[in-house]
Amino acid sequence: MPEDAKCYLVIRIRGSVKARKEHLDTLRMLNLRRANWATIVPKTPSYEGMLKEVEHMVTWGEPSLKTVKSFLRRVELAGDGRLDDEAARRLGFDSLEDLAKKIYSAEIALNKLKEKGVRPYARLHPPRGGFKKTIKKHVSAGGEYGYRGEGINELFVKMA
């Protein structure tokens, strides 16, 4: 586990069929309205509680800085394409790398940029080659959902 990673990369892997309303509300608060959407949240007790509540629908772990940069390149802006260096400068950051470092160290939360036109999620493809295990079991029981630590980087690469 990286010492300086103060955020989680969260990927929703299950849909809404037969889901409880409370779980759907929690996923909406996490900005994960659909399957294969991802977001980055800070490591705080409130977010960890939300992740525990919906852990049977999502997988999460600590991303590397490289993964955070790759994630930000997939984030869309309201109306003008994707986030890049020029868009990061318009938001008040030196570059996309500077923004990635601030999100990685939890100096700024991705959902705080929503007012500036940045969507707080990224849409991903289903994983290339499919999930290797079932999405109906926890990672520790040989499945795909739940906390996976640094393994989230490999899954993100397969889905990006």
**Per-residue confidence (pLDDT) for residue 5, from 0 to 100:** 79
Q: What token pair was written down for 130?
A: 């499919």
Which pLDDT tens digit goes with each residue over 47-99?
A: 999 999 999 999 999 999 999 999 999 999 988 789 999 999 999 999 999 99
Closest alpha carbon to 68 in 34, 30, 109: 109
Name residue 76's beta-bridge partners.
82
Which pLDDT tens digit goes with each residue over 104-144?
A: 999 999 989 999 999 999 999 999 999 999 999 999 999 99
This prediction's pTM: 0.94
Contact 122, 37 (CB under 8 A): yes
Which domains can be identified in the chain, with CATH numbers? 1-160 (3.30.1390.20)
Residue pointed to by tokens 């999405």 = 135
Rounded CA-CA distance 19/118 in Å is 28
pLDDT band for 1, please (50, 70, 90 cuts). Answer: very low
- DSSP 8-state symbol, 4: S
Rounded CA-CA distance 83/88 in Å is 7
Three-class secondary structure assignment of 103-114: HHCCCCCHHHHH
